[in-house]
């Protein structure tokens, strides 16, 4: 029976942060892969945490995406949502292509329309 190896939580966190930063900058996996000299499939493995990112490679990622390397390891700020299972759902949404599109469009709206849309979304989920 094959042993299924689960990613180390730190490798998952680093990978998720690479993905969120890459997406927020509008980079594709292929573009990041080209900077690193790897395939986009390898970038997928990094982002899933199934392959560890070597420190030298992580430094290249930080440099290319213009962020301090500490960004990948800093503990997230405490959230009022902690303990309710929402943090992982929110992170998954924020790092999805749909989430990035919605956030960008939402940010361009007037504040009154944002409040109205938020109220509609909240009403739809209750």
pLDDT at residue 42, rounded to an integer: 97
What is the per-residue pLDDT across 77-96, written as a single tens digit (0 to 9) for each? 544 445 555 566 777 787 77
Rounded Cα distance between 107 and 69, Å, is 27
And the tokens for 50? Answer: 């199934």
What is the per-residue pLDDT across 16-65, written as a single tens digit (0 to 9) for each? 899 988 988 889 999 999 999 999 999 999 999 999 999 999 999 999 99
User: What CATH homologous superfamily does 9-75 map to?
Assistant: lambda repressor-like DNA-binding domains (1.10.260.40)
Long-range contacts of the stretch 30-36 (C-beta < 8 A, 24+)? 32/61, 32/64, 32/65, 35/60, 35/61, 35/64, 36/60, 36/61
Domain boundaries, the chain: 9-75
């Amino acid at each position: 029976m094959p042993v299924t190896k689960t990613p180390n939580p730190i490798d998952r966190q680093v990978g998720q942060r690479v993905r969120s930063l890459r997406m927020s900058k509008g980079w594709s996996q292929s573009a990041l892969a080209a900077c690193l000299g790897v395939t986009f499939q390898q970038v997928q493995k990094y982002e899933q945490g199934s392959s560890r990112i070597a420190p030298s490679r992580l430094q290249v990622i930080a440099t290319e995406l213009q962020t301090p390397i500490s960004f990948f390891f800093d503990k997230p700020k405490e959230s009022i949502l902690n303990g309710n299972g929402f943090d992982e759902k929110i992170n998954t949404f924020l790092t999805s292509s749909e989430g990035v599109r919605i956030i960008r469009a939402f940010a361009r709206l007037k504040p009154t329309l944002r409040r109205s849309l938020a109220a509609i979304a909240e009403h739809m989920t209750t």
